[in-house]
A and B are shown apart, each in its own frame.
Chain A
Amino acid sequence: MVATEEKQTGRRLITGPGILLVWLYGVMVVGAVSRSAYQIATELDRAPLAYSLSAVAGVVYGFITYTLVRGGERARRAALVCCAAELVGVLTVGTWTLVDPSAFPDATVWSDYGMGYLFIPVLLPLSALYWLRRARTA
């Protein structure tokens, strides 16, 4: 019952706009994890780098979703760090796919800044960072 006590004292992060963030992160978890799991299981040789990066993206999304649902100050900080890392990842991989397309025979979740996912991968960390910073002052 330690967990529930902590929840009551900790700050909830999934009120208001936070619920939308959890939903979108949840969708990205399912999308990235299932996609990379399938691709790694069936055709890893074709584009190992791209599929591994998708798997990493899935893990990062999963962790952020968990911290958002858990709530509290420590989770908020952890989510903040992960969202920053996620943003760096999206920008790095996005630029990488544009500069050196030959390294990526197949797309990753973060290719072209997440264009295949309606640019959600690049918009999500920005809005999450904004929300998490505001949650501290609120």
Chain B
Amino acid sequence: MLDVLTLVTGVAALLLAAWCGWAAYRDQPTKDWHFIGMAVVSALALIQLVVGIVQLARGEDPEQGTTIFVAYLLGAFACVPAAGFMSLAERTRWGSVTVAAGGVVLAVLEVRLYDIWGG
């Protein structure tokens, strides 16, 4: 369950990065559709956070420790919304680049989460 979510969230994050990267390439700021995309990715990260905590509550142990696992879950959840708010403040192509970077960072976090959980 968690591994599937990690994979889906990671792929969605990369798609978001590519999409916003494309917007930046065309010299456009982030638009409503991009924010809907960010909301979808953030929702996935939130579901992952909840599922992860439920797994912990059921007594399953992440391979590399609970603290690191929870820290990465929180970081993954905060990542895209933070980049989204910054793109609201910067209504140029650079706002789009920031969200694209946020997507890449989230994808990296997902790879790390996969290792930490020991899937």
Q: Decide: A19 near B71, CB < 8 A? Known: A27-B105, A118-B108.
A: no
B90 cross-chain contacts in A, Cβ below 8 A: 14-16, 19
Quick check: is B13 within 8 A (CB to CB) of the other chain?
A: no
Contact B68 A38 (CB under 8 A): yes
Q: Is the interface of B mostly helix, strand, loop or mixed?
A: helix
Contact flags A1-34 to B (C-beta < 8 A → 1, else 0): 0000000000000111111101110110010001
Chain B nearest Cβ from A55, distance in angstroms: 16
Contacts of A20 in B (CB 8 A): 94, 97-98, 101
Instruction: Determine how close the nearest CB of chain A comes to the CB of B48; give it in whole angstroms.
Output: 18
Chain A interface residue count, CB cutoff 8 Å, equals 17
- Whole-angstrom distance from the CB of A83 to the nearest CB of chain B? 18
Interface size class of B (residues with CB under 8 A): 20 to 34
> Shortest CB–CB separation between residue A38 and chain B, in angstroms?
6
Closest to B75 in A: A30
B52 CB-CB contact with A under 8 Å: no
Give chain A's interface residues, CB within 8 Å of chain B.
14-20, 22-24, 26-27, 30, 34, 38, 42, 118
